[in-house]
Homo-oligomer: A and B are copies of this chain.
Amino acid sequence: MEIIGGADPVPNVSLHTMNELIQATTVRRGATWYLVAEEPFRFASGGQIPRVEVAYETWGTLNAERSNGVLILTGLSPDAHAASSKENPEDGWWEPMIGPGKPIDTDRHFVICVNSLGSCKGSTGPSCTNPDSGDQYRLSFPDLVLQDIASTAQMVLKSLGIEQLRALVGPSMGGMSCLALMKQIPDISRHFLAISTAARAEPFGIAIRSLQREMIVRDPHWQDGAYTIDDWPENGMRLARKLGMISYRSEPEWRKRFGRELQNRYNERLFGMHFSVESYLESAARKFIRNFDPCCYLYLSRAIDMYDISEGYENMEAAFADIRLESARVIGVDTDFLWPPHQQREICQMFSGHGIKCHLEMLPSIHGHDSFLVDYKRFCPAVGSYLDNLG
């Protein structure tokens, strides 16, 4: 068997997910591995799909004990290409963070980034073809929760022969997916780095995400999910992305960056763009509109809202009780009002309350929720200082 990218996926592996035995094989296209199970995959909701693919990329080398794995679960929109590699030299979405000598040091760790189930970026999602019907799933895709994303991450780890990770790394939605994974396998990781995330969705974020979803489904081109390439809910996606940008960034950042500067990039029209901040939002929206599937966006956005680690428990303390970690680090940002500071404090308090060594680091970044993707000056040392000293 060829060892590529430092890993050695088992060619045909039996996996337990949702108490179902699944046979899976691993194939590679470019830098991306695909774990493919040609058997029904069952969702937490009870729904199922006839086959599932889980896309992931890896960096570094898995050691003989298979004990140096670091798994990154992502926010809503990124793919598995978190960093460049020989097979795909294009910059990844977390390029300054991952690589030899970088904060997530591929000389030390075998780094895995899994694309979320439900996404349109490699793993099976609503925009994929249902082999039974030959059509895209769209709204026939089963209800998705973050526990399902965690299940597919489990499958990847098992196929790589990793029983326990050195560390889980979860920014934004990915932090929730990490918590879901730890609830499924309490000792799945020795360490956990939570970044600008939360243990449950709260109403302010729910309101913003709910409004983004409504922008899409109220676009006449949405057509109850029957949009086509030529008849796309462009305006819904445009509005949703602009609200996304507003909620991902911050008031002080834009004050310093744009002030009342005028724009000349787009033609002024009545009630149209006048200020630079408006053309900035338009540019960001245009990059997104055709680059993300509307249906996948809705499924993943809703999955965030539905997540509450304490669901089914008397309180949040009880929900954290069974998680086995040696340590955790929680990094948050002062200006993040979408995944706000008190939710970072809460995660840290929960771990500390159960005797898990946990440190909270609130960074004074002005870039809001997106700081972990922008403010590398602050985030690289914060991430590196934790992962370099796991002991």
Contacts and interface: CB of A to CB of B under 8 A. Distances in A.
Interface of A: 139, 200-204, 206-208, 210-211, 213-215, 217-218, 220, 235, 238-239, 242-243, 245-246, 250-251, 254-255, 257-260, 270-271, 273-278, 281, 298, 302, 305-306, 308, 337, 340
Nearest to A254: B203
Contact of A254 (B204, B213, B217, B246): B204
A206 B218 CA distance: 24
Given A202-B259, A203-B258, A271-B302, A210 B337 contact: no
Given A206-B275, A271-B302, 9 more contacts: A202-B255, A202-B259, A203-B255, A206-B277, A207-B254, A214-B239, A217-B270, A251-B340, A274-B306
Nearest to A275: B206
B210 A273 contact: yes
A220 B220 contact: yes
Number of this chain's copies in the complex: 2
Contact of A277 (B207, B217, B278, B308): B207
Nearest to A204: B251
Contacts of A260: 200-203, 206, 308
27 contacts: A202-B251, A202-B254, A202-B259, A203-B255, A203-B258, A203-B276, A203-B277, A204-B246, A204-B254, A204-B255, A206-B275, A207-B245, A207-B277, A207-B278, A210-B277, A210-B281, A211-B242, A211-B281, A213-B271, A214-B239, A215-B215, A217-B270, A218-B239, A239-B239, A271-B302, A274-B305, A337-B337
Contacts of A206: 260, 275, 277-278
A338 B329 CA distance: 32
A278 B337 contact: no
Contacts of A139: 270
A218 B246 contact: no
Contacts of A255: 202-204
Given A139-B270, A270-B139, A274-B305, A243 B211 contact: yes
B278 A246 contact: no
A167 to B, nearest CB: 29
Nearest to A281: B207
A364 to B, nearest CB: 15
A259 B202 CA distance: 6
A233 B206 CA distance: 25
Greatest chain B CB density within 10 A among A201, A208, A246 is at A246
